[in-house]
Amino acid sequence: MDCHRIRKMSYFGIWSLIIAGSWATNVTASSPDNESTLENGSHRDSFGFTASSSPDCTTCVKQADTTTNYDQYNNTGNYSNNATNSTIDGGGAASASSSSIDEAIFYFRRYAWITMIFIGLFGNFMSIYIFWNHKNWGSACTLYLFGLGFADTGVIIMYGLFEWGRREMRFLSNDTVYFDVFDLHDYVCKTCRYLWQVCAFTSSWYIVGFSFERMIAVTFPLRAKSILSVKKTKIVMFTILIIGIILFIPVFTTYKLVESPGSRVKACLFTFDLWGIITFLEIIIICYDLPSVVLFLMNIFIVVGLIRTKARRKKMRTTGSVEADKAANKAAINLIAISVLFLIGSIPKGVCWGIYFSYFTAGQSGNANPDAASFWFAMGKFASAFNLINNTLNFIIYSFNLPFYRAKFLQIITFGKVGGKKKKKEDDSSTATSTMSLSKEESNASLADVKMEPKA
């Protein structure tokens, strides 16, 4: 009954996201408004003369030889260089296609994206609470998933909710925002970007660390206890966090707060210099591409190990090692589902922004292809928004694969009606059993007393 209910709830949430995204895409076909005309009606310039977009859908600042020419913001999320007037032909097929993609991305980010944001915040808070209060708290599985919940929450807050909130404030106020969090200080921009990248890094590599732990447990079950330990897990998690904290310190020097001329719209951009390019590649490769490759290879070993374990289980008739294998296999299957979700979201983002960066470098050398660059820029924005599923839907996987998580989750969302009744029945049955055993013991004791009485 519990599994059936959680399955229905999961299907409802997933289909809600799909319907919202489909509706948003269909609306763009009939809506005359798009993200380019909501504020100033401007269009993107050709890619060879514009600043590049970073992997988080913000753009970099291209610096001139003598003075810094900051690019003017338009509502598509791109910055067109003020020093040039080269624009994509508005009547071209590529421009129409790019505009249609921009409209779809705008509606997706405005409706379906915010749905995922709040679902993800709810699910991650639930995961943190459930794993913290689990009876096996301190095991490698609970530690990794507990840390993953914190990292995903940070990504959602810094990227999803933060960016969506600022975008919606600009839209609702027609580009006359009277208060922006960036108005506080330039270091607010830098700190938000820094925390975002640290959370994204730890989220990706916690999954990699969990994968390595499960790969050892499945591939070498007899040696796993000697190789793995809770202490080593804590050391690995702490090391990943420290590496992320140190690795993204250059964000404080490569990002700048830029205000569009004649507008109050501000954006946090990285400069197009050596350190800016290094930061771009660092984010793409270390946070998305490299973890995806490592996870893919590890999951191959895990699947092979599961197949061998299943074959070995058929030949064995003892129960001790088989039960241990079942527990390890359940955790491995849960990890494979998490890894697949990560790969679905991360690979498109890394590929799209990597191709876009190659067009950007070609544009800087004079070999610009503005149509292809505009297309991959739009696809990169969509992939960045879609990548948020990595940080939002893990709790659904936990609900399917972890019985203790499912029971506690149902107990919380039903205010104790589902899990509480079941627990109460178990308590009543255990109480009745203990009462019956106690009465049986008392009756045996009374019979013994009767036998011990001397005959009159």
Give the number of domains in the chain: 1
* Token pair for 334: 């849960």
Distance CA 258, CA 3 (A): 51
Give the number of residues written for the chain.
456
Helices (H), 220-250: 224-227, 230-247
Residue 351: inside a domain, yes or no?
A: yes
Instruction: Give the domain extent around 123.
Output: 2-413
Residue 50: left (phi > 0), alpha (psi -120 to 50), or beta? Answer: beta
CATH number of the domain where residue 286 is located: 1.20.1070.10
Task: For residue 382, give the amino acid letter.
Answer: F
Provide the whole-model pTM.
Answer: 0.67
Residue 429: inside a domain, yes or no?
A: no
Residue 455: inside a domain, yes or no?
A: no
Q: What is the DSSP letter of 259?
A: E
Residue 142: inside a domain, yes or no?
A: yes
Bridge partners, 255 (sequence order)? 270
Residue 453: inside a domain, yes or no?
A: no
**pLDDT in single tens digits along all 456 residues of the chain:** 444 544 555 545 445 544 444 444 343 333 333 333 333 333 333 222 233 334 443 344 443 333 333 333 333 333 333 333 333 333 333 444 556 666 766 676 667 777 888 888 999 999 999 988 887 776 778 888 899 999 999 988 887 666 666 665 555 555 555 555 666 667 777 888 889 889 999 999 999 998 888 888 888 877 777 788 888 889 999 999 999 999 888 888 887 777 766 656 666 776 667 777 777 777 778 888 888 889 889 888 888 888 877 777 776 655 555 555 666 667 777 778 888 888 888 888 888 888 887 777 776 666 667 777 778 887 887 787 778 888 888 888 888 888 888 888 888 888 777 655 444 444 444 444 444 444 444 444 444 444 444 544
Residue 443: inside a domain, yes or no?
A: no
Pair 286, 201: CB distance under 8 Å: yes
Residue 161: inside a domain, yes or no?
A: yes
* Token pair for 128: 């943190």
Pair 308, 222: CB distance under 8 Å: no
Distance CA 236, CA 231 (A): 9
Residue 432: inside a domain, yes or no?
A: no
